[in-house]
Chain A
């Protein structure tokens, strides 16, 4: 049951993603066509708020609920950030979804997005299988 709190956090996150309309395929098209500020506003203000939150945690020296010191996992630079990033961007504009919204689209009743999910899992598997042959 120690994972229940993450399930509840997920429910809140899912509600916000849908109410923000960031799971909408149309909103993603609108963003890449530069015809609305909406998505840029959502992502930009999310980053800004997260940054303030992290800063506050650091300044106050807060620990996690279980008393651990909060660590930030360093993301090393690899060529994958560029090549994989471009590949994901192509898929983002087709499906109208990043991985989070895929789950939210399914929950919103678009059950066919389950195929998108299976395909995304297959893509992840293919990366794992051929990882060593790819430039990093």
Chain B
């Protein structure tokens, strides 16, 4: 087996040095009869070529996003990632290293985490950011738990514009902790009266902008009302590129900001691995979950970086920890931070502008199709259409015509009476030809 360096001769020598007759002598603690006598019912070892054949066949059965005009978003977005990014994240020293618990030989990882934290704080307009969470949805769940710790209250109010999967993750996590979750009804037009839900029992209000239907929301009045009642505002985003063009949550006085960073540097990967972003006001620092990287000096006085404030974490505090989280999204963070470094402020602003311009163009084209109504007043690179037919059927018919035309709201919210809504995303990857193909196919289908 190509990955196993020991030879049979080595194995014999090593058993002799240990002083046991055979390998099973080392498994003597396995209870009688529980050591497997027969091989597992699975195929035997395969060479590279054969593995490539098998997996290649599986992969070929899927329609890749780059193989069709592609307008699917709703929490994960197809963007162009510079070639430099994937090259760098495959460098051995990044790819095959561990959590930087030995900082003297992990300064590479630690320095990029410090740079990443600085980038996230700047992007979100917040004071501190952690070194990432699993993804946007789990970051949101953790943010709600953190708000419960900060306020000593146990009721979270979730906007009807929050991505339904995020709502479900929060409900699951908070439900297990016996906390109360008030999830408002799906809010297609961003006109819910969330202010009326905030009272003195409320620990936090969770609002997404751009929301799952693409609407941009003003968080300032919600922050003000929350603060007046001693509650926190948790701002959520699923499209981090939007921060290059819209007001940051920090500027609207959010207390905690969480989101999905997949758009920058990371592939779609059928939903994972992604990169959860988490930032907060510094007064809540010690209640934050996840890892934090900090600057310090070495014994010669040189600047260096370490993981810090780990007394919040499970490996020190055990059942008193701020979270049970151990792993983060290290390599996805690296992809994010390299791509963001390449972009810089100028590149991110331009990228956001192009996304928005393309989406505006497409929205106007689609709104001209018979049986289509655009529902958004404002949007960034994603919007919602009301169709004259059920969106799930429309999407299947579009796929038959070779166009991947968005996400039916009913796929995220079955039984909510939103069967005629289609959520459409448009990024820098889409060309005028893609848009024309989409419009033509939709006109035929409707």
Q: Do A and B bind each other?
A: no
